Amino acid sequence: MKSRMVVALILSTSISLPVFAQQASSSSAPQAATSVPVTHGETATGQPPLQATQGDFWEGEEPGTVALISHPFANKKYIARQTAPIRDRLNEMEQITTTHGKNIKDIDARTQQGVQLASTKTSEADQHAQDASNKAQMAQQASSAVNTHLSKVEPVVESLDQYKAGAQIVIRFRAGQTALSKDAKGALDEMAAPLKDQHGYVIEVQGFSSGQGQAAIAASRRMADSVVRYLVLNHEVPAYRLYVVGMGNAPMPGEEGTKAKRTSGSRVAINVLKNGLDQMASTPVSSATPK
């Protein structure tokens, strides 16, 4: 009988103790645990924020006695279930960090490539500018050389139409004859030999004949033509350098215009006239031309 009473007393005590502890815990912690969201926005992973655990026995500074007695043991499965959301978020954050790192490396590589390209373009521009400067300097040198050459040539060009008298000979003919004598041919050879390969000269051939009117003019022209024919055939003097005039019984230049002088015999005056073309041809032209 006594043993039954002891067992009943122990059972009643074990039943009432949790109830008392539950009431004490309720009085010491009047505020019930509720589900409180951490934030209302989205996280860096694009997922909603983690929620606080509802009714966790670890809430408060001192957990209740009943919670300590009735809470299941913290085994591996329980811990894994509680930490799974945190582990998932950590994995997502690691992936995001890895992706951001790759993006940063890609941006840095592109930036370095852009800087290298800009540096190359700058070097090319500097090289082009240097080439342009060299060409401008060469053009300036060529311009100076041309100006110097022009200053030497201009006086010569101005004197192209100003012929100066050179060699002058007079060949005499017998009355009514047009054939050249041996002495006449020798004089023409001596005059024409220096003119070979020369430029800037003309030969004036004037025929004079005694007589009157057109007969004298025709006779003087025939004698002048014989001289021209000899120079063209024997000395290859271009025909465009020969100017032939039949003067008839007109006085030669420098003679007095008297009647006696007008009828002084048949003759041909040959005058070599030169300008500055040979002098200009002998002036060297500067080769400093821009490329």
14 part of a folded domain: no
pLDDT of residue 251: 85
Alpha-carbon span 247 to 214, nearest angstrom: 10
Q: Which domain holds residue 95?
A: 50-130
Same domain, 123 and 172: no
pLDDT in tens, 135-154: 999 998 998 888 887 777 66
Give the residue-averaged pLDDT of 56-75.
54
What is the domain count for the chain? 2
Average pLDDT over residues 179-202: 90
Residues 110 and 168 occupy one common structural domain: no
Residue 42 lies in a domain: no
Q: Would you state the pLDDT for residue 288?
A: 40
C-alpha–C-alpha distance, residues 161 and 197, integer Å: 20
Write out pLDDT tens, residues 204-238: 999 999 888 899 999 999 999 999 999 999 999 99
d(CA 184, CA 177): 13
Section 170-186 average pLDDT: 90
Residues 6+ apart with CB under 8 A from 220: 206, 207, 208, 209, 246, 247, 248, 249, 266, 268
123-135 residue pLDDT tens: 899 999 999 999 9
179: CATH: 3.30.1330.60
Note whether 117 and 193 are same-domain residues.
no
State whether 119 and 169 are in the same domain.
no
If you average pLDDT over every residue of the chain, what do you get?
A: 75
Please indicate, yes or no, whether residues 166 and 274 belong to a single structural domain of this protein: yes
